[in-house]
Amino acid sequence: MAPPNRLLDRNIRFSDKRNPDDFLGGLVQNGSVTETNFLSMLNIVLVASSPIRVYAKATGAPVLQTDTPLQLGDYIVACDDQIHVSNEPWLHRVISHSVSGREDGFRDGIRARDRKCVISGVVNTRSAGNWTSFEAAHIFPLELENLWIEFNYGRWVDDIDDDAGISKINSCQNGFLLQSTVHKAFDQYLLSVNPDDNYKITVFDIDIFGFDGRVLDPACLNPEDPHRVSDHLLRWHFRQSVLANMRRAGEPIFEHDFPPGTDMMKEIREGPYAQERFEKELAARFKGVV
């Protein structure tokens, strides 16, 4: 069975003026995406050597650098030069669960700092030690540690000494506490946090939980806390989310529910990104990734 895609629920689409019937991409607008946000997102998805101009296909009204919510509909992108869709790599994540070998220091540090789901705002008021349905989530995925090292993403973390001899991917600055449902959506790039817009949460899917437009809880943002979440890593995740959801038909949404008896490896082999997903599953199991 083909995985669900990000195309079907879109209520915003955009195309090149030179070929207005060929849609270059789109998104789901739940209300929080402003005209300024949209222009910024287009500059991630599209590549042009001169500035782009965007206007509503139906009315010709220009899209401007304003905080006005983007209206639903189709948009035309004009440019004096050729417009290309970005080929920037998108990095999908492992969405299966394996709890063996988890980095306890990361989990415990995130719990102590946040005490709540920083997306939904739900506080864990249970007795000490009961964290059922709350999970410490990595912003940059643990199973891609080789890329973390290759591109020196550890430079965005400053609460672990550079001479510690480790990659720093398990720094609390690379994570926050989420409810399990939110964690799955975050790992699938279906919601993200924009640190350049007051930490606004953007839901790129139908917003069934009402998170779109909320602001990331300040529990993980205290500037006096050396373990506060990294703006750079949030920005990385937001950019990946834009690529996943807005470019062409969007990236696949992978199955996450594998009850006993399900042939997970068969589904992976027969689905998109089969080789990469298989390798990441092996890496995740080796590291004990949640």
For the chain, the distance separating the N- and C-terminal CA atoms, rounded to the nearest angstrom, is 25
Q: In the structure encoding, which two tokens stand for residue 118, read together?
A: 């920083």
Task: Please tell me the predicted confidence (pLDDT) of residue 262.
Answer: 56
User: What does the pLDDT profile of the chain (290 residues) look like in tens digits?
Assistant: 556 789 999 999 999 999 999 999 999 999 999 999 999 999 999 999 999 999 999 999 999 999 999 999 999 999 999 999 999 999 988 754 433 344 789 999 999 999 999 999 999 999 889 999 999 999 999 989 999 999 999 999 999 988 767 889 999 999 999 999 999 999 999 999 999 999 999 999 999 999 999 999 999 999 999 999 999 999 999 999 999 999 999 999 975 544 565 555 556 555 566 556 555 555 555 555 44
CATH number for the domain running over 12-85:
3.10.20
Sign of torsion over alpha carbons 48, 30, 135, 94? negative
Those residues whose C-beta lies under 8 Å from the C-beta of residue 211, and which sit 6 or more positions away, are 119, 120, 182, 191, 201, 203
Task: Please tell me the predicted confidence (pLDDT) of residue 128.
Answer: 86
Those residues whose C-beta lies under 8 Å from the C-beta of residue 280, and which sit 6 or more positions away, are 92, 93, 94, 143, 144
The DSSP secondary-structure symbol of 116 reads B
Kindly give the pairing relationship between strand 84-85 and strand 200-203.
Answer: unpaired
Domain ranges across the chain: 12-85, 104-254+272-285
Torsion of CA 185, 186, 190, 196, to 10 degrees: 150
d(CA 176, CA 220): 7
Task: Please tell me the predicted confidence (pLDDT) of residue 97.
Answer: 42
Task: Please tell me the predicted confidence (pLDDT) of residue 94.
Answer: 74
Three-state secondary structure call for residue 145: helix
Task: Please tell me the predicted confidence (pLDDT) of residue 99.
Answer: 38
Task: Please tell me the predicted confidence (pLDDT) of residue 289.
Answer: 45
Task: Please tell me the predicted confidence (pLDDT) of residue 280.
Answer: 54
Give helix 35-45 / helix 231-246 axis angle, nearest 10°: 80
For residue 113, the one-letter residue type is R
Task: Please tell me the predicted confidence (pLDDT) of residue 164.
Answer: 64
pTM: 0.89
The DSSP secondary-structure symbol of 57 reads T
Task: Please tell me the predicted confidence (pLDDT) of residue 286.
Answer: 57
Distance of CA 17 to the CA centre of its chain: 29
Neighbouring C-beta atoms of residue 217, cutoff 10 Å: 21
| Among the listed residues 107, 44, 73, 93, the one whose alpha carbon sits nearest the alpha carbon of residue 247 | 44
